[in-house]
A and B are shown apart, each in its own frame.
Chain A
């Protein structure tokens, strides 16, 4: 079946611009996660959605970052007024429930110039 998909695969933007990253989870998965991974580093948790519950936003690094999940499916991560330190790979993962293994999308490589 179809895995987690993300778009775009690559995004180059100028400092100060806003960007939107999209994640389409595996059908039927109620949990959705966003992570950030800088070159050579581990996964940095950003935000977690579980069904219709309020999201866990504890990992968002600043108020320039926000995310939403519409209809319990597709999610969008928005970064406003991008900075060079936002350059990283943004990974989305989904799982059947919060207790299950996560499946990752291919990621979006964001470069802020």
Chain B
């Protein structure tokens, strides 16, 4: 079992729909969670960070964290073709100083 698991996709949604990306992690003491976006041929860029249970909203993006169930998700509202990319989930166990990335979910938003 991988420490951080993501559905590789591809996930395809129509323009204007909500895209839901999920990530589960195995290290129960993980404390910091991040979502990155990686366009083809580019390096990952940070979208959002979340540290506490619940929702965190930033524009069209909402990160959701449930530590009891060990999952973190990213919702993209009003999806645009420019959102088409691979989304990486990253988890940090601050006690161990260890960060782990998932392999990413590829999202395609169709016009």
Which positions in A face B, CB cutoff 8 Å? Answer: 33, 41-43, 45, 50, 91, 98-107
B interface residue numbers (CB < 8 A to A): 31-32, 34, 36, 42-46, 49, 88, 90, 92, 94, 97, 99-104
| Also in contact, A101 and B49, with CB within 8 A (given A42-B102, A42-B103, A91-B43) | yes
Chain B residues closer than 8 Å to A45, beta-carbon distance:
100-101
Contact B44 A104 (CB under 8 A): yes
B interface: dominant SS: strand
Residues of A within 8 A of B97 (CB): 50, 98-99
Do A99 and B88 have beta carbons less than 8 Å apart? no
Report chain B residues within 8 Å CB of A100: 32
**In the complex, A104→B103 CA distance in Å?**
16
Question: In terms of DSSP, what is the predominant structure of the interface of chain A?
Answer: loop
Verify B43–A105 contact, CB threshold 8 A: yes
Q: Please measure, in the bound complex, the distance between the C-alpha atom of A103 and the C-alpha atom of B34, giving whole angstroms.
A: 11
Q: What are 23 A-B residue pairs whose CB atoms fall within 8 Å in the complex?
A: A33-B99, A42-B88, A42-B101, A42-B102, A42-B103, A42-B104, A43-B101, A45-B101, A50-B97, A91-B43, A98-B92, A98-B97, A98-B99, A99-B32, A99-B92, A99-B94, A100-B32, A101-B32, A101-B34, A101-B46, A102-B46, A104-B44, A106-B42
